[in-house]
């Protein structure tokens, strides 16, 4: 059954989707500028620094020359587009900030931000891409994110095909990233201990498959937290 989101819910998650597109475009511009300079033997230039224009005038090529005029003009135009992207990213983040500030203290986004290791970016993506929906059970939650196992069985033969990856790709990639950060920010939680026990049981191997399993467990735990108020075992809150 297809559950079509409301117009408001669809419009709300455009903010994070636009920001992700802008970030990817910013990375392309940074790599393009660094590539142009690398061809001249320059490796110590960082476009993200605020003094990028001043630094560009001071750069010298590998053989001690200043940057040629046409190359410098091309990089200047790249920086113009790059700085426009920075302004657009800032505007999108301001919109996201206003959206979060308009939420009540007991709203799902505010509840997620209250957990150590989860910031506005992760909280808005988690809610906007998945947790705003109504799920009947944990299997539906994992399947929607593309984190559910897909066993195959024929007669007496049983085969595990791995994760389906047929769900929301934005939610799935966010959960995998959050799972790695969860290990760092929540070292005493039950989920982190479970992960380390499983990895140690396999001799330190299979960290990547186990992080996907952790992402699935973490998503289900967060769903229970925002819908039923079930505190994640051992999780540290920012207000504590």
Indicate the pLDDT class of residue 159, thresholds 50, 70 and 90.
Answer: low
The residue ranking higher by pLDDT, 154 or 142, is 142
Q: What are the Cα distances from residue 162, in Å, to 148, 165, 228?
A: 8, 9, 29
* Model confidence pTM above 0.85: no
pLDDT above 90 (res 202) = no
Segments in 102-233 forming alpha helices (H): 108-113, 120-126, 138-144, 169-185, 190-201, 207-228
How does pLDDT run across 41-99, given as a tens digit for each residue?
999 899 999 999 999 989 999 899 999 999 999 999 999 999 999 999 999 999 999 98
pLDDT above 60 (res 9) = yes
Residue 13: its pLDDT value, please? 84
SS3 state at 103: coil
pLDDT above 60 (res 240) = no
Indicate the pLDDT class of residue 37, thresholds 50, 70 and 90.
Answer: very high
Domain boundaries, given as residue ranges, for the chain: 7-101, 108-228
Residue 133: its pLDDT value, please? 86
pLDDT above 90 (res 21) = yes
Q: Is 203 exposed, middle or buried (0-12, 13-18, 19+ CB in 10 A)?
A: exposed
- Residue 77 CB partners (closer than 8 Å, separation 6+): none
């Amino acid at each position: 059954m297809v559950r079509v989101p409301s117009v408001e819910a669809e419009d709300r998650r455009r903010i994070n989707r636009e920001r992700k597109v802008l970030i990817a475009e910013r990375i392309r511009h940074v790599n393009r500028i660094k590539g142009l300079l690398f061809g001249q033997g320059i490796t110590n230039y960082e476009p993200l620094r605020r003094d990028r224009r001043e630094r560009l005038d001071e750069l010298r090529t590998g053989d001690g020359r200043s940057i040629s005029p046409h190359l410098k003009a091309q990089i200047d135009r790249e920086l113009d587009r790059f700085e426009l992207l920075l302004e657009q990213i800032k505007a999108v983040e301001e919109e996201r900030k206003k959206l979060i500030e308009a939420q009540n203290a007991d709203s799902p986004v505010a509840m997620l931000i209250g957990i150590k290791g989860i910031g506005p970016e992760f909280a808005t993506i988690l809610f906007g891409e998945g947790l705003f929906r109504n799920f009947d059970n944990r299997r539906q939650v994992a399947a929607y994110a593309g984190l559910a196992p897909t066993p195959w069985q024929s007669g007496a033969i049983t085969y595990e095909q791995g994760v389906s990856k047929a769900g929301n790709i934005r939610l799935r990639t966010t959960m995998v990233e959050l799972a790695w950060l969860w290990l760092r920010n929540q070292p005493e939680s039950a989920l982190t201990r479970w992960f380390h026990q499983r990895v140690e049981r396999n001799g330190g191997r299979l960290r990547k498959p186990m992080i996907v399993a952790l992402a699935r467990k973490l998503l289900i735990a967060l769903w229970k937290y925002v819908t039923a108020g079930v505190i994640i075992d051992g999780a540290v809150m920012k207000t504590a």
